[in-house]
Amino acid sequence: MSSQPPFEAIARKHGAPVYVYDAHVISAQYNRLKNAFRKVEHLKLHYAVKANSNLSVLRLMHQLGAGLDTVSIEEVRLGLRAGVAPENIIYTPNGVSIEELEEARSLGVQINIDNLSVLELFGQRYPETPVCVRINPHVMAGGNANISVGHIDSKFGISIHQVPHILRIVELTKMRINGVHMHTGSDILDIDVFLHASEILFEAATHFKDLEFIDFGSGFKVPYKKDDIETPIEELGEKLSERFNAFCEKIGKPLTLSFEPGKFLVSQAGTFVAKVNVVKQTTSTVFAGVDSGFNHLMRPMLYGSYHHIENISNPKGKPRFYSVVGYICETDTFGSNRQIAEITEGDLLAFHNAGAYCFSMSSNYNSRLRPAEVLWYNGEVHLIRSRETFEDLLKGQVEVDLTAEAKVETV
């Protein structure tokens, strides 16, 4: 059995571009994280659906034993459709209406609230429904300002300095807080900063007598290229587990330690395969133009994210420098002056670390169609999303005969 998906065969059968996910990598990452916190008696991993919301991926997570972290009512419904029990789904929205929270309540999922006014309103209406509160520790643990959400100016969470307000709402409404949560941001490298934030959360947790779990979010960095740095998960597991167990002993109550990994579980499992349409020499640059763009893979243009690019049609070719670009009528550069094995028109390029926030951010910009998605599972290729067709672009549109309306107005 091949150790990795047969990318070229997949592209021939399902067309390029195409997203390919390796279930074995997902399983390995899940088990690695679980093992890092093996000293914690009660551990719960909720996969962050926004990273990759394909139903088959959600079912795989459920099969591994993970719950789901959702940020919209649609993600909640996807999770339920995938067979995940409501009690294994946590719903952590931002800026949604009370009506959406009420719908989540009716579906029976764990609700996480990050706004004082919403907390008070929800507590007045449903004091019997336990909720989690999202705390902003004012700690910037992520490596990129665009993806760090725990700093003081973030729109996410209730300020740690507003805990007295939370306690006042709890006292007046008699509502029950069963969890406290934080998420400091993505690409965490300095675990001491993360541990500092966790101590702030521990202190906040002491104020809630009905507490059942503490959720530390996620944001663990994965390597994007050879010898790249990543979050030292094993070291974090050792140090945070010790602190968590000590906290549980201090309060005399066993709690559940929760995380919401997304990128950590699926990023390295995904490969985006695109075909080279043109090789174009200009006065200073050699462009390799592929049959895709930021409509399919937005992260390089949105975050400046790095995706290692490999020529899988000519892996042993002489290395040359290329700027890999897309076919969108915008600047859509995947990588500038990358050293890649010599590229010929028709070659297939593999973009690595394409399992998280890639297809889920895709669009039909320029009226281009979204690609297929494939899961490599137990040595077999499974189509888990069909390539879109032109008819899919028209779905939902209502064609109005404007000429006929104009005639009516004239009359």
Asked which of 261, 294, 321 is the last residue of a domain, the reply is 261
Residue 256 shares a structural domain with residue 291: no
| Secondary element (H or E) of residue 311 | strand 309-311
Instruction: Give residue 271's pLDDT.
Output: 98
Cα gap 256→45, rounded to integer Å:
10
Residue 387 shares a structural domain with residue 257: no
Q: What is the pLDDT of residues 203-223, one digit of tens each?
A: 999 999 999 999 999 889 999
- Is residue 233 domain-resident? yes
Helix ranges restricted to H, 206-289? 233-251, 263-266
Residue 223 shares a structural domain with residue 338: no
Q: What is the pLDDT of residues 264-303, one digit of tens each?
A: 999 999 999 999 999 999 999 999 999 999 999 999 999 8
Q: What is the pLDDT of residues 384-398, one digit of tens each?
A: 999 999 999 999 999
**Residue whose structure tokens are 């399919």:** 296
- Active site (annotated) includes residue 132: no
Q: How confident is residue 142, by pLDDT bands cut at 50, 70 and 90?
A: low
- Is residue 29 domain-resident? no
Residue 74 shares a structural domain with residue 184: yes
Q: Determine the structural domain holding residue 145 and report its residue range.
A: 37-261
Distances (CA, A) of 181 to 116, 185, 188, 235, 401: 14, 13, 17, 21, 52
**Residue whose structure tokens are 């999303």:** 385
Which of 132, 248, 329, 358 is flagged as catalytic? Answer: 329
Residue 234 shares a structural domain with residue 285: no
| Secondary element (H or E) of residue 48 | strand 43-48
> The pTM is what?
0.92
Answer with the residue of higher pLDDT: 314 or 155: 314
Q: CB-hemisphere CA count at 13 Å for 205?
A: 27
Each residue of 32-54: b (16+ CB within 10 Å) or e?
Answer: ebbebbeebeebbbbbbbbbbbb
Decide if 277 contacts 290 (C-beta within 8 A). yes
The token pair at 295 is 């409509």
**Rounded-to-10 torsion of CA 330, 335, 340, 345:** -10
Of 51, 202, 75, 219, nearest in space to 137 by CA: 202
Residue 209 shares a structural domain with residue 236: yes
Instruction: Give residue 409's pLDDT.
Output: 58
Residue 352 shares a structural domain with residue 284: yes
Q: CB-hemisphere CA count at 13 Å for 70?
A: 28
**Residue whose structure tokens are 């996620």:** 218
- Is residue 407 domain-resident? no
Q: What is the pLDDT of residues 297-354, one digit of tens each?
A: 999 999 899 999 999 999 999 999 999 999 999 999 999 999 999 999 999 999 999 9
Residue 69 shares a structural domain with residue 212: yes
Q: What is the pLDDT of residues 104-122, one digit of tens each?
A: 999 999 999 999 999 999 9
Decide if 44 contacts 258 (C-beta within 8 A). yes
Residue 239 shares a structural domain with residue 348: no
Give the chain's domain count.
Answer: 2
Residue 216 shares a structural domain with residue 71: yes
Cα gap 58→340, rounded to integer Å:
34
CATH of the domain at 281: 2.40.37.10
